[in-house]
Structure 1
Amino acid sequence: MADLLWDDVSYFFDPDLMGSLPDVRVPDIVATPEREDGGAADPAARS
């Protein structure tokens, strides 16, 4: 989705237009810190 621009979707996240975002819980998921280069951390690479 390289052609997706923030300006095209930012209104989805505008609480004045769409209301507040719901609290979402995804079972069995562990949050991992992101890498310094902005990519997601690879949990398989941990030792």
Structure 2
Amino acid sequence: MTPGGWITMIISVGFVTVLFAYCVWRVLTSHKPDHDLGHIEPVHKDQVDER
């Protein structure tokens, strides 16, 4: 492989590796929300037929 090919490959693989590490770091160090967005509301017995 030519030196230009090696340089291109090292830059490409290095960029993808750094981007992957940054994304993993952001996910692992993110703050947890104080609330849950997804929840099931209770259904009252008089509303069973309406839903």
TM-score > 0.5 by shorter chain: no
| Higher alpha-carbon Rg | 2
Return the TM-score normalized by structure 1. 0.23
- Higher relative contact order (CA closer than 8 Å, sequence separation 6+): 1
